[in-house]
Amino acid sequence: FFSSAFKKEDYNIVKLRLLLQGQLSSTVTAVMAPSTCISWLAVNRCMLVTMMIFGLGTAFQPSLIVSDRRGASMTSSTKVNGMFDFITDAFSNTEYDNRRVEASHILVPSEEKASEIKVLLLAGEQTFAEAAQAFSSCPSSQKGGSLGGFEPGKMVKEFDTVCFDESIPVGEVVGPLKTQFGYHLIRVDKRFENQNRSEGTGIG
C-alpha cells in the first residue's frame, strides 16, 4: 500500500482508505483533484503510519477507556470480559428449576393389582420396599422401588406432577397412577433444592 501511495493512478484507492480512517472530510474529497491529491497523500501517509503504530500499542492496554453504543464509558478489559459472559451463564443454574425429589414406585400392569398392593401397604402387611421387590416390573424393584433423585422433566408428565406436588406429603403412597408404562404406586421420599442437575434413573 505504501509503495503505491505516490502513484498518481492509485490516488483514488489511497483516498478511500484514508476516508475510512477519518482523515479526509467529504468536502475536501469532493473537490480534490489528482494533481493536489499527491501532496495530501504525503501528509496523510505519515498520519496513517502514526495511527497504525499508536493503534497497535493501545490495543493491548487493558485500561483503555472507550464508549459503547449507548455512550457509556467502559474499559477495553470490560469489553473483553463481556465476550466471555456467555460461558459464565452457561454454567449458572439461574435458568433451571432447582427443585429435586427422591422417590420410589411400584409398577404393575393393571389398576386392580396396584390397588391390591396398596391395601397391603396401608394395612402394614408389607413394607414399600418388600412390595416393590415382590411385584414391581421396573428394574428399580431391586432397590426397593427407589428411583433416586431427579429434577422436573426427567420422568413422564403424570409421574412428575405427583412427585413435585407439594400438597402431597412426603412418605404418602399415591396411586394407582396410570402412565404409558402401566400403573404406579408412588411414594415421595424427599423434596429439596439442589444446584446440581441429575439424569435420575428413569422409570419403565
pLDDT, the chain, mean? 73
* Closest alpha carbon to 63 in 79, 50, 51, 52: 79
First and final C-alpha spacing in the chain: 71
* Closest alpha carbon to 103 in 60, 154, 35, 38: 154
Q: Are 185 and 112 in contact (CB under 8 A)?
A: no
Relative orientation angle of helices 128-135 and 111-123, to the nearest 10 degrees: 150
Band the pLDDT of 97: cuts 50, 70, 90. Answer: confident
Residue carrying C-alpha cell 495530501? 40
pLDDT score of 30? 46
- Residue 151 cell numbers, joined: 429434577
pLDDT in tens, 25-45: 444 444 455 555 455 555 566
- Residue 179 cell numbers, joined: 402412565
pLDDT score of 91? 53
What is the spatial distance between Cα 94 and Cα 165, in angstroms, rounded to a whole number?
21
pLDDT in tens, 70-95: 454 545 444 445 555 555 555 554 46
Kindly report the backbone phi and psi dihedral angles of residue 100, in degrees, each rounded to the nearest multiple of 5, phi listed first: -150, 150
pLDDT in tens, 133-184: 999 999 999 999 999 999 999 999 999 999 999 999 999 999 999 999 999 9
**Predicted structure pTM score:** 0.51
The two most distant CA atoms of the chain are separated, in Å, by 108
pLDDT score of 113? 97
* Residue, of 194 and 4, whose pLDDT is higher: 194
Per DSSP, the chain holds a count of helices (H) and strands (E) of 8, 6
Long-range contacts of 153-161 (CB under 8 A, 24+ apart): 153/97, 154/198, 154/199, 154/200, 154/202, 155/200, 155/202, 155/203, 156/180, 156/181, 156/203, 159/105, 159/184, 159/186, 159/203
